[in-house]
Amino acid sequence: MDNALSIFFITCIIIIAVLMKTTRFRLPNEPPLETAWIPWLGHALTFRRDPVAFLQAMCSKNGDVFTVRLAGRYVTFVMDPLVYESILAQEPNYLNYDLVAADFLKRLFDVTLPPGYSHADKAHMNMRYFTGRGLAKLEDHMVTNLRLIIQEYPNSAEESGSGWTNVELFKFCYEILLRTGFLTLFCPEMLDCVEVDNKMDLRRQSSEVCNLFFHLDKILPDILLGTLSYREKVQVHRLKSDIQALLQQNLGSSWIEDQVEPLAVDVEQQQRMRLALFWASQGNLGPTAFWITLYLLQDRNALCAVKFELSAATHAEDGAAIINVLHNTPVLDSAIEETLRLVAAPFLSRNVVKDLWVKRYKMADLLFRKGDRLVLFPFLSPQHDPEVHDYPHTFKYDRFLRPDGSRRTEFYKRGQRLHLGSLPWGSGNNACVAKVYATSTIKTFLFFLLTKFDVELIDPGASPPGFDSHRCGLGVMQPQHGVNVRFRCIAQERV
């Protein structure tokens, strides 16, 4: 009896010690701490089910800054855009992005970065590929490849004699942009091919890569969350291996090869890095093209304004001439920015390396604790914040235009002017270095689609599909279901 009682008391002491060790208490000036009854897991299950709904509920309860426990990690979410700039400007010895990126690449693509790898240094070096002559060369290749790919799609209608081609819009946009990106960044020799058979082989490769990646992309959220079944893990391994083999067949562009160079001692890691770069450079282009095309087709005024602006490029023959016109399209720029405001939902994450104090306007200063992860979520604020944007869930193509046609930058929160009214491209040392190239690709796609084809919604009265919230944090949201359209070549026009 005494032994049993002793064991009971020892067990209780151990349990109390573990709870004291793992239980967290809020310190002065720290954000509100949202506790959960499940040890270690915390709110992970609720968060996984619907991240946006969970964060909205937490904001309503705790305000726009709070800390929760997610699968063993304490994460502080910040939805106050007035402090974004000061947070993103912090030095890496306070808020570190490299640790987050390394963890992300490892979990999603099995990439192990070498010690000392710096994304900030790499981004600085990459600027030469996405500015000046490097950018001009990429854009010229992109226009040529996009024209080549989009020419394939009216063929089935011409063969049937109907004149119209019916397609599911998301798959259509996704496929064209992904194949174009593959040829531009992973097959730069495409433009130097003289043999027709070689060109056809590369185009077949682009289609094969697209079909494989489309299936992998659908599973990426589950890979990131670690919720795959054994059967799904086998499928993912096969998909990754097949895509990596195709990406490996061709010498990539200078930018691609520069990224994989630090992993030169490990061929398998190089292949994985190519796949990661393929996703990073192409994964959001197709979804963005889908959303802006859909929003334009549903808004006649926006469509007319954009088509009028694009008409200036209809007589341009080469890629450089087309891009030159597309660099001066303020209405289309605003429409793209508005689309991204509505659909871009990245998590801007940092690891807190040292305790960090951040000042807030007319509010108490904030203390972020060492060892936590700090996540900004611009999707909720400023992008969908009714205090920043009127009718925040409505597409207004001229929202980012001033009356004189210049870009509008005046947006306010609590009476204070914001640095940015939207953050779809990230900011700080993880900002997208390929922003101009990506925007040019979207514009070129819209130029060919809207000036060379008649495009119609099959059901023009239908509401736009909702967002697949499981992709929250990965970039641009994808639709919950497809949208059917039909298109045909405009008489006398050639692509």
274 known ligand binder:
no
Provide the whole-model pTM: 0.92
360 known ligand binder:
no
The pLDDT score that the predictor gives to residue 160 is 47
113 known ligand binder:
yes
Q: Which domains does the chain have, with CATH numbers?
A: 2-78 (no CATH), 119-489 (1.10.630.10)
Q: What are phi and psi of 76, to 5 degrees?
A: -100, 120
Question: Within a 13 Å sphere around the CA of 459, how many CA atoms are in the beta-carbon half?
Answer: 8
How would you write the pLDDT of the chain (495 residues) with one tens digit per residue? Answer: 556 666 656 665 555 444 444 578 889 999 999 988 888 889 998 999 899 999 999 999 999 999 999 988 999 999 999 999 899 989 889 999 999 999 999 999 999 988 877 777 777 778 888 889 989 999 999 999 999 899 887 654 444 456 888 999 999 999 999 999 999 998 876 666 546 567 788 888 999 999 999 999 999 999 988 888 999 999 999 999 999 999 888 766 778 878 887 766 688 888 999 999 999 999 999 999 999 999 999 999 999 999 999 998 888 778 889 999 999 999 999 999 999 999 999 999 999 999 999 998 778 899 999 999 999 999 999 999 999 999 999 999 999 999 999 999 999 999 999 988 899 998 766 788 899 999 999 999 999 999 999 999 999 988 889 999 989 999 999 999 999 999 998 865 556
**Structural contact between residues 80 and 361, judged by C-beta atoms closer than 8 angstroms:** no
> Which is nearest to 468 in space by CA: 105, 53, 55?
53
Rounded Cα gap, residues 384 and 393, in angstroms: 7
48 known ligand binder:
no
107 known ligand binder:
yes
